[in-house]
Chain A
Amino acid sequence: NAGVMQNPRHLVRRRGQEARLRCSPMKGHSHVYWYRQLPEEGLKFMVYLQKENIIDESGMPKERFSAEFPKEGPSILRIQQVVRGDSAAYFCASSPTTDRSGNTIYFGEGSWLTVV
Chain B
Amino acid sequence: GQQVMQIPQYQHVQEGEDFTTYCNSSTTLSNIQWYKQRPGGHPVFLIQLVKSGEVKKQKRLTFQFGEAKKNSSLHITATQTTDVGTYFCVKGGGNKLTFGTGTQLKVEL
- A interface residue numbers (CB < 8 A to B): 31, 33, 35, 41-45, 48, 55-56, 58-59, 91, 98, 100-110
Q: Interface size for chain B: under 10, 10 to 19, 20 to 34, or 35 or more residues?
A: 20 to 34
Least CB distance, A6 to chain B, in whole angstroms: 9
A-B pairs with the 4 shortest C-beta distances? A102-B92, A42-B99, A107-B42, A43-B99
Which B-chain residue is minimally distant from A6 (CB atoms)? B42
B100 interface hit (Cβ, 8 Å):
yes
- Among B31, B41, B100, B102, point to the contact of A101 (Cβ < 8 A): B31
Q: A44, B33: Cβ atoms under 8 Å?
A: no
Q: How far does the alpha carbon of A109 sit from the alpha carbon of B88 in the complex, in Å? A: 16
Q: Is the interface of B mostly helix, strand, loop or mixed?
A: strand
Least CB distance, A71 to chain B, in whole angstroms: 20
B93 interface hit (Cβ, 8 Å):
yes
Q: A48, B45: Cβ atoms under 8 Å?
A: no
Least CB distance, A55 to chain B, in whole angstroms: 6
Q: Known: A31-B95, A43-B99, A45-B98. Is A102-B48 also a contact (CB below 8 A)?
A: yes
Q: Known: A101-B31, A101-B50, A102-B30. Is A42-B102 also a contact (CB below 8 A)?
A: yes
